Homo-oligomer: A and B are copies of this chain.
Amino acid sequence: MSRLFAVLMAGGSGTRFWPASRARRPKQLLPLGGGDPLLVRTSRRLAGLIPPDRQMVVTGARHIDAVRALLPEVPPEQIVGEPQGRDTAACVGLSAVLAERIDPDAIVVAMPSDHVIEPEERFRGHLAAAATALTEHPESILVFGIEPDRPATGFGYLRCGEKLPDVDGCPLHRLEAFVEKPDATRAQLMLDQGGHLWNAGLFAFRPATLIDAYRTHLPHMLPGLQRIAAAWGRDEFEPILAHEFPKLEKTSIDFGVMEKIEGALLMPLSLQWDDVGAWSALPRLREADEDGNVTDGDVVALEATGNILAAPTGGVVAVRGIDDLVVVHTADATLVCRRDDAEGVKQITEALKARGLERFL
């Protein structure tokens, strides 16, 4: 079996956790819920199977120092900074060409760095099984799908095709189709039907296979990526990355590659998964107190129930007589919205921009 190699995609700017997350301090670097940053938890979750020296992080160039400080066991040259965000096709393509240089026989698993997945042991079992599957199907790309537990409309779905023999006790299918984020009715239908999994952006591949897929579907991206890979480990890596990367097409890996390839594999993950997509997800990271308030940092809550109250970067949140709100304090901003207001933070960050208050973003 080829050895696993992990790529942690940590390029998000994380406005959904405003005001805690900022352009300079995205969600994956925040100690959300009071523990280690999600990026650190993601790296540690892998470590029992894929040691830190077999991990790579692709993040924003401005976050390189922070990431290197958070993950001292990941070799510094495997923490790569995108000069600007070019969406996931550029990010995954970059990691494929770099992984090929580091270990051409590796099985690469690429995943977001800001999700919560439990139990970790089972997750690692699935990754190992995926490696076995890709050893048996070396020309395939494998996509992981999350078994849905509710008719979520916030994710795309993956439709299971032909059932293949289990691998190391894990089920395996052909991937039949990508399904765009559904409306509520369609989401319920898929949940009732079965055979549809959430697309959480986790997949596995041999570098050569993914590079072949780019050659077929995104051929114009390959020369630039290969020039970057050729410079890796040399002094000119940074300037060449800075020169080539911004010219790459800005498209998603799903749209640019995954939806177009034939013969992809789909491995269902039946475990607890959370993309921690908004403040309202904090209760899934931290238990509520007896009044139903979920708190992070120094908080005083009097006659208050069902709130999410966070001072994750210091300071204090003090409330009385409020229910079912989100209150977040940082040194230069306070957010208050309803807990069920899924659009609250997005609308607020857009309003800040519109009113010339970008300095608070």
* CB of A327 closer than 8 Å to a CB of B: yes
* CB of A49 closer than 8 Å to a CB of B: no
A360 to B329, CA, bound (A): 13
For A316, A319, A333, A341, the residue with the greatest tally of chain B CB atoms inside 10 Å of its CB is A316
Q: Judge whether B332 and A314 touch: CB under 8 Å.
A: yes
Residue of B nearest to A321 (CB): B338
Q: Judge whether B300 and A317 touch: CB under 8 Å.
A: no
Q: Which of A76-133 contact B (CB under 8 A)?
A: none
* CB of A334 closer than 8 Å to a CB of B: yes
Q: Judge whether B300 and A316 touch: CB under 8 Å.
A: no
* CB of A320 closer than 8 Å to a CB of B: yes
Q: Judge whether B318 and A327 touch: CB under 8 Å.
A: no
A95 to B360, CA, bound (A): 46
Q: Kindly state the interface size class of chain A when it binds its partner.
A: 20 to 34
Q: Which of A304-347 contact B (CB under 8 A)?
A: 311, 314-322, 325, 327, 329, 331-338, 341, 344, 347
Known A315-B331, A331-B332; judge A320-B302 contact (CB<8 A): no
* CB of A149 closer than 8 Å to a CB of B: no
Chain B residues whose CB sits within 8 angstroms of the CB of A351 once the complex forms: 300, 302, 318
Chain B residues whose CB sits within 8 angstroms of the CB of A344 once the complex forms: 320-321
Within the complex, the shortest CB–CB distance from A168 to chain B, in Å, comes to 48
Interface residues of A (CB under 8 A from B): 19, 298, 300, 302, 311, 314-322, 325, 327, 329, 331-338, 341, 344, 347-348, 351-352, 355, 357, 360
Q: Could you show 24 A-B contacts with beta carbons less than 8 Å apart?
A: A19-B318, A300-B355, A302-B348, A315-B332, A315-B333, A315-B360, A316-B333, A316-B360, A317-B334, A317-B336, A318-B335, A318-B351, A319-B335, A319-B348, A320-B336, A320-B337, A320-B341, A320-B347, A321-B337, A329-B329, A329-B333, A331-B331, A331-B332, A334-B334
Q: Besides the contacts A318-B333, A320-B336, A322-B337, what 15 more A-B pairs have beta carbons closer than 8 Å?
A: A298-B357, A298-B360, A302-B347, A315-B360, A316-B332, A316-B334, A317-B336, A318-B334, A319-B335, A320-B341, A320-B347, A322-B325, A327-B334, A331-B332, A334-B334
